[in-house]
Structure 1
């Protein structure tokens, strides 16, 4: 965190502006940290001012801490979704035990921590949990939660740190950008890049050498010696773009490159428009993303979880803030394909 003052000059990465706090004699670090951990300060203007400095820009590195099972899911084709952090806000956390506290599915391992790291395509893909877009998160009862409680201040529960947290907008799946990374943190704090995402091939290229092959042994269903892992699960969201009014599936490589998805490099033309495409519906009056479906049933994820939505749908919490349910396709209302446009 950066302390601001009239004479301060800060040299920062424009894609990752630092979290800044106007500390003074009557407002010290310890007090700000305590405020961030109290639901009574959700609407405190000073805390909101501090939280607003944690901006996401196009190209900001985002991180989601994963369990071994979640790593296997992403290798199979899961997309980024749910709770995440700016990489710069947790750059000081390298110990597996520290990072495990930021996990979302309740699994804890003191030996190794995993993470997915990617670059944001656009700020509109991210919201503050418990903020105006997701006010019901902080009111969810303990028996309906997995993982740490949601304070509603915009900061993650911590006894020592001030870490702003985000959720993907409406808990949506986000298309995986090019060069996303699956990472491991081992005892001693060393960061190991295990895989990097290749969007044209829709798969993961292994980067971990023989020294780190043991880290892959703990991933369920993963063959450590496999150099390339194709995704087998179709994503519920994709990018589409246009060139001269003709639509193509697109690839994002933030902050500047947005192109046609093509196996040959010569055909990867830049697109002139870009949108995130996903399927939406109402079930029992509750807005949901349609993650998958067949002729009879659909798997849904709640867009704005709160106690009323859970009571109406019976949705189950699969990880922190993420509530899903199965519903008969015939009961869905306003079932449609939504395009969320980005400004290029």
Structure 2
């Protein structure tokens, strides 16, 4: 599969698939192509655009099209790279990603999928989770680089990454943001998150955790990440809530406005039918609650709540523009505690009770603490405040001037 060049008409590229040349357009900041065809074929879907010149379309990842090193260097994020050997092909690599005992063999390959400051991240949501984010939920749990899943556009393809099992007429929602720092993310390997790997089916939601650092899939190779210690991440500026329809259309539903702590409606009335019944589609924004986890920053030796807009804008949180001073230093603040010898993060306080999330859940902790799985990998329980020990606020300070990457230890190296 190769890019041939530019073509006349509304499409800006031509690509060759299985010996046939098709017109195509770049999508997802160049991470994928939308390929057009006048005839139906394997992988092609009806083109939903009224009066479209080509009645069928298909989505392919850019790495399946651009094969030269010069082409790969133009991507916003680095593609997953596999060392060239006679003993390993792409099918063999996929088999290893689905084999729990193969994590050691995959370490050199998994290490090439990195998060940096400004990397576009994405997490796929159910309708209930979409409503939760509109009402104030922060980001947490399993997520992916948007680059790695840019070609997965239909509910059928995205079913491997969401908790639902959509049909062709359903919709998958997602929250998409830019990473503030690589430190905020870990790779869910068996040696660090072994409790999730061995969790019995009756104690989990969604697909199992393999422990290789890749999502379970019968066809795709998708590197996965978790927020560090499964804790909550405050929502950065310009985060979007999007929907993917049955024909592969991406719809931006809302954009986050941090100064107002609100979501601004971006979709028109033609897309209101996509929203769950619990969400009023004609509202411009939803007031949101304030999570306990937050970003804080230092300005002239004083500490303020911070607004983050990666990769380069970090400022004091203020409603007036004149008071949005650029920060001298930035930290992520996470409320943490220990309950019955289990490390946890604190996600809510109600009177004398604390809502705790297990940082390293396993079957024993879940049974001993009576924790419940609220989504894939996230286990929570209410605890009496009097029983909780070592309650604290952990601040991790970032280096604002340097662009760093996940360390080898975080990726299994």
TM-score in terms of structure 2 length: 0.78
Looking at structure 1, the residues matched to 215 and 393 of structure 2 have their Cα atoms a distance apart, in angstroms, of 33
Q: Label 1:343 to 1:164 Cα distance change in 2 as closer, same or farther (>3 A).
A: same
Matched, 1:240 2:318: no
Looking at structure 2, the residues matched to 122 and 15 of structure 1 have their Cα atoms a distance apart, in angstroms, of 16
Contact kept in structure 1, 2:72 and 2:79, CA below 8 Å: no
How far does residue 92 in structure 1 lie from its aligned partner after superposition?
0.7
In the alignment, which of 105, 123, 127 is matched to residue 64 of structure 1? 123
SS at match of 1:311: helix
Contact kept in structure 2, 1:61 and 1:117, CA below 8 Å: yes
Aligned length: 334
Matched, 1:188 2:262: no
How far does residue 251 in structure 1 lie from its aligned partner after superposition?
0.5
Matched, 1:224 2:285: no
- Aligned residue in 2 for 1:117: 176
Looking at structure 2, the residues matched to 143 and 8 of structure 1 have their Cα atoms a distance apart, in angstroms, of 46
Matched, 1:291 2:352: no
In the alignment, which of 132, 140, 151 is matched to residue 92 of structure 1? 151
Instruction: Point out where structure 1 has 5 or more consecutive residues left out of the alignment.
Output: none
Contact kept in structure 1, 2:185 and 2:226, CA below 8 Å: yes
- Aligned residue in 2 for 1:127: 186
Q: Deviations over 1:200-257 (max 9, x none)?
A: 00000000012212223x252x1111112221x3212111101110111101100000
Looking at structure 1, the residues matched to 292 and 360 of structure 2 have their Cα atoms a distance apart, in angstroms, of 18
Moved over 3 A (4+): 7-15
Contact kept in structure 1, 2:190 and 2:210, CA below 8 Å: no
Looking at structure 2, the residues matched to 120 and 109 of structure 1 have their Cα atoms a distance apart, in angstroms, of 28
Q: Label 1:123 to 1:15 Cα distance change in 2 as closer, same or farther (>3 A).
A: farther
SS at match of 2:161: coil
How far does residue 309 in structure 1 lie from its aligned partner after superposition?
2.2
Q: Label 1:283 to 1:15 Cα distance change in 2 as closer, same or farther (>3 A).
A: farther
- Aligned residue in 2 for 1:39: 100
Matched, 1:340 2:396: yes
Looking at structure 1, the residues matched to 165 and 293 of structure 2 have their Cα atoms a distance apart, in angstroms, of 29
Looking at structure 2, the residues matched to 13 and 98 of structure 1 have their Cα atoms a distance apart, in angstroms, of 26
How far does residue 22 in structure 1 lie from its aligned partner after superposition?
1.6
In the alignment, which of 214, 229, 239 is matched to residue 170 of structure 1? 229
Q: Label 1:24 to 1:219 Cα distance change in 2 as closer, same or farther (>3 A).
A: farther
Contact kept in structure 1, 2:205 and 2:375, CA below 8 Å: yes
Contact kept in structure 1, 2:346 and 2:355, CA below 8 Å: yes
| Structure with the greater alpha carbon radius of gyration | 2
In the alignment, which of 220, 233, 236 is matched to residue 161 of structure 1? 220
SS at match of 2:104: coil
Contact kept in structure 2, 1:15 and 1:59, CA below 8 Å: no
Contact kept in structure 2, 1:65 and 1:100, CA below 8 Å: no
CA RMSD of aligned residues (A): 1.7
Map 1:16-55 onto structure 2 (within 5 A): 16-44=77-105, 47-55=106-114
Instruction: Point out where structure 2 has 5 or more consecutive residues left out of the alignment.
Output: 1-60, 401-413
Looking at structure 2, the residues matched to 120 and 250 of structure 1 have their Cα atoms a distance apart, in angstroms, of 15
Q: Deviations over 1:315-339 (max 9, x none)?
A: 1111110000111100001011111
Looking at structure 1, the residues matched to 369 and 130 of structure 2 have their Cα atoms a distance apart, in angstroms, of 29
Matched, 1:255 2:314: no
Which stretch shifts more, 64-73 or 108-117?
A: 108-117
TM-score in terms of structure 1 length: 0.93
SS at match of 1:183: strand
